[in-house]
Amino acid sequence: MSAIQNVLIKTVVIPFYRSHAGLLLFVFLIMFGTVESNQLVNYHRALIEGMFEVPVFLMVVILIWLLYNTKILIYVLSLLRKPDYRFFADLTLLPRNGSFSHLVLMVIICFFPVLAYSVFIYLIGFSKGYYALSGLILIFQCALCAFNAYAIQLVIRTQHRFTWKIPALRIPNVAGRIGFYVSYFLTEEKIALLISKTFSLALLYIVREATVAGDDFRILGLTWVFVLLSHTFLLPKVRIFEDRYLTWIKALPFQALRTCLMYILFYAGLMLPELVFSISMMGNMGELLWLVLLSAGVLFFIHIYLLKPQRDPEKFSAFLFWLFLISFFAILCKLIIPFSLVLIVVACIRLFQRYYRYEPAIA
């Protein structure tokens, strides 16, 4: 491996995987942690065969690949804006083909989780006779990597001629403290929010198509646990946003109870698309209230855990595992409302204890 490629891996690829470890862990749990080991091969074979046989499912998978590829591009472009990454301009000293090949390899390594799983897609596709479709999938993935490399190379070679910025979507009519969080997600974390919504809505769609009206509500409740899991990687981003930009709010005369209510409303509203989509799967509107309470309770409880001073980041995954394991048992025992209320009450108590004493590590 050349020295240039070594530098690109250490300064771009490794930080990319560290930054998106939560998202990749979530995908791994969905794909491999929710199925018994003796059924794992049949489960993935059925998924891959469904891609070839159901066009809508294939389009959802392609959309997920496209979002992941876009996330790679946005991450690399954001690095180019930092002073520490000015050395990227040295790539302009290389021939275009030489710099392009280095960038393609860098993008491919970032895209490796998709490519590794795609090997099984190609094998099953060829074994089932889907030669043309398998070839088109391969061409599409190669085109995504080539496009990213070309876009990065273009920015490196032309960034001294113009300033570039990812367009920001703002909602000026959203006021109040909740408006700060909504504006943050719609300006700085659009892709992360879109990825979580795509995963959760696709999961709900699959469950809706596999069930019929009148089925046990616990099926939707257990699915909702994974829907919430797809949003947990957003919560550390919320905490970082608060530590950087919202510490001044503590000096305002807001009661702690009002702050609790703000968090409950925000996290319940965060799940609004999924709640609207799930109405057709519910037997009555009371079940909608159960999911609202569960969403607010779980996400608010995780948020307060992240407010803990001197928190060990390595224990966050273990915390999520036990929380969602307990959530599973609570739903199976039809204790959604008591469980949700306990989470909300405990989160409020912990907020009273930690909110004003917490000192952010980020200036």
Domain match, 261 and 343 both: yes
The DSSP symbol for 82 reads S
For residue 298, name the pLDDT band (cuts at 50, 70, 90). Answer: very high
For residue 53, name the pLDDT band (cuts at 50, 70, 90). Answer: confident
Q: Which helix (H) or strand (E) holds 52?
A: helix 40-53
More confident residue, 358 or 96: 96
Question: Where among 158, 185, 204 does a domain terminate?
Answer: 158
User: How many distinct structural domains can be found in the chain?
Assistant: 2
Instruction: Specify if 168 maps to a domain.
Output: no
Looking at residue 1, its pLDDT comes to: 54
Q: CA torsion angle for 125, 127, 132, 134 (degrees, to 10)? A: 30
Domain match, 346 and 205 both: yes
Question: Where among 125, 158, 191 does a domain terminate?
Answer: 158
Looking at residue 345, its pLDDT comes to: 93
Tell me what the mean pLDDT of segment 214-230 comes to: 82
Domain match, 141 and 184 both: no
Highest mean pLDDT among 76-90, 270-284, 309-323: 270-284
Nearest to 197 by CA among 47, 67, 297: 67
Spatial distance between the Cα atoms of 120 and 47, rounded to a whole number of angstroms: 11
Instruction: Note down the domain range covering 150.
Output: 3-158
Domain match, 150 and 37 both: yes
pLDDT tens, residue by residue, 139-169: 999 998 999 888 888 888 776 444 445 444 4
Domain match, 336 and 211 both: yes
Tell me what the mean pLDDT of segment 262-290 comes to: 86
With b for 16 or more beta-carbon neighbours within 10 A and e for fewer, the 120-130 pattern comes to ebbebbeeeeb
Nearest to 355 by CA among 303, 313, 312: 303
Instruction: Specify if 360 maps to a domain.
Output: no
Domain match, 13 and 80 both: yes
For the ranges 24-38, 54-68, 82-96, 180-194, the lowest mean pLDDT is seen at 24-38
Is the model's pLDDT at 223 over the cut of 70? yes
Domain match, 180 and 154 both: no
Question: Where among 130, 158, 186 does a domain terminate?
Answer: 158
Domain match, 140 and 210 both: no
Nearest to 285 by CA among 206, 197, 217: 217
